[in-house]
Amino acid sequence: MLRGVNWRHFDFLLLGAVAVLSIFGITMIRSAVAGNIELTTETNLVQRQIVFAVLGFVMVILIAGIDYHFWSSMSRTLYVVTAAALAILNVAAAAVFGSARWFQVLQINIQPSELAKIVIILVLADYFTRHQGQLENLNAVLRSLVYTLGIVVWIILQPNLSTSILIFVIWFALLWVGGLRLRHLTIFVGVGLFASAILLPLLFQIDVIKQYQLDRVTAFLFPDPDARYGDIYNIQQALISIGSGGWFGQGYGGGSQVQLRFLKVRWSDFIFSAMAEEFGFIGTLLVILLLVFVIFRCLRAARLARDTFGGLIAFGVAAMIAFQAAVNIGVNLRLLPATGLTLPFVSYGGSSLFTALMGIGLVQSVILRHKALEF
């Protein structure tokens, strides 16, 4: 499938921006874990991220070389396999560990819920393409919601509420750009609010929504200024880290909050605060601008796509990266409750990095087969 591809259309600017973000992320992970005795596998964190980065960039080239229309014929198979993997993970984890979010293969943790983000983009892009012009029919919209719930329900049960919300955001973004009617939007908002008021207490009662998830929201809405532990503590340390970075930061490996381990989970969820302390406002601004540039190039691919399927794929990847980045940065700035969403391409997490790079490969596949060459 690599034959006949006009590689001169390949978006090297997009690839370059992603490469810079990934390399910078590995560098920040190394600083965040350096010399910290609490991490028995601290050296492995960097090595594992490098391995996933290399594999991910190889996957970018391979997926780019495959005509993205191939995934239309494979979307249902991918959907069934992903749903089955998530279901098996829930059943096996409940029986053996109580709960878990990943399979361990050759000492490597593989998180199916991360791969599910790409699968749901392909499945919904194919569905909305085949039902183009039919979204004024509420039944067509509801069927797309059923497809989404078939994946989300297993992710919620892990429990993994943040990824579940992300997949719903992808569904709504593709539904909106696919032609959702305003009256349907009004219905969804009303039904969603009503259902949330009924379902959230029920989900808590049956232990689907956990106490720690409610505690995060409570700590965000009603913070205890005297709290010395828990989510509010780390949010306070994140804000201190960001503030102490000033304009230009304290230098690589020189952040006291990071190196003295006041800031927790600094290599993944709170890596934005760590880089703010070490590189300051200017450094974080450059990272944000690179992420915005990546999102812009994905949206450009959606605009240039020669058909609806390609446009929806590129738009879905853009929505995924944008939402993850916005939520992660919002949590670090205490604009949102604490979640487990990573900063795309930067935070530690092999499955997350690999999934984001798969998304970039799909966008490149769309660009390679677009209707006209533009810059």
Q: How far apart are CA 251 and CA 362, in angstroms?
A: 36
CA distance 268 to 341: 9
State the Cα–Cα distance between residues 152 and 158, nearest whole angstrom: 10
Please tell me the total count of domains within the chain.
1
Residue range(s) defining the domain that contains residue 80: 7-368
- Average the pLDDT over each of 87-96, 97-106, 149-158, 317-326 and give the range with the smallest value: 97-106
Q: Using the predicted structure, report yes or no on whether residue 92 has a pLDDT greater than 70.
A: no
Residue that wins the pLDDT comparison between 100 and 247? 247
Tell me the H-state helices in 208-307.
Answer: 211-221, 230-245, 256-259, 271-304
Higher pLDDT, 54 or 179: 54
Question: Is the per-residue pLDDT at 126 higher than 90?
Answer: yes
Secondary structure, 3-state, 60-129: HHHHHHCCCCHHHHHHHHHHHHHHHHHHHHHHHHHHHCCCCCCEEECCEEECHHHHHHHHHHHHHHHHHH
- Does residue 359 belong to any structural domain of this protein? yes
1 within domain boundaries: no
Looking at per-residue confidence, does 154 or 288 come out higher? 288
What is the predicted pLDDT for the residue at 178? 80
pLDDT at 98 over 50: no
CA distances to 56, 108, 288 from 30, in Å = 19, 19, 20
Please say if the pLDDT value at position 263 is more than 70.
Answer: yes
Q: What angle do CA 338, 340, 343 make, to 5 degrees?
A: 100
What is residue 135's predicted lDDT score, i.e. its pLDDT? 75
Q: What is the reported pLDDT for 71? A: 93
Q: Is residue 373 part of a domain?
A: no
**Omega within 30 of 0 (cis) for the link into 159:** yes
In the block, residue with structure tokens 């409750």: 337
| Cβ contact 364:63 at 8 Å | yes
Residues in the chain, overall count = 375
Query: What are 218-251's pLDDT values in tens digits?
Result: 665 556 666 555 567 778 888 888 888 889 888 8
Q: Is the pLDDT of residue 158 over 50?
A: yes
Q: pLDDT (tens digit, 9 = 90+) per residue, 189-206?
A: 776 666 666 666 665 565
Most confident stretch, 42-46, 164-168, 242-246, 253-257: 164-168
Q: Does residue 132 carry a pLDDT above 80? A: yes
Q: Tell me, yes or no, whether 2 lies in a domain.
A: no
Percent of all residues in the chain with a pLDDT value above 90, rounded to a whole number: 43
Cα Rg, the chain, nearest whole Å: 21
Contact in structure between 361 and 61 (CB atoms under 8 Å) = yes
Pairing of strands 103-105, 108-110: antiparallel
Looking at per-residue pLDDT, the higher value among 144 and 160 belongs to 144
Give the list of residues 6+ apart from residue 132 with CB closer than 8 angstroms, or none: 178, 179, 308
Q: What is the pLDDT of residues 335-361, one digit of tens each?
A: 888 787 899 999 998 889 999 999 999
Give residue 262's pLDDT band: very low, low, confident or very high (50, 70, 90).
confident
Residue 187 lies in a domain: yes
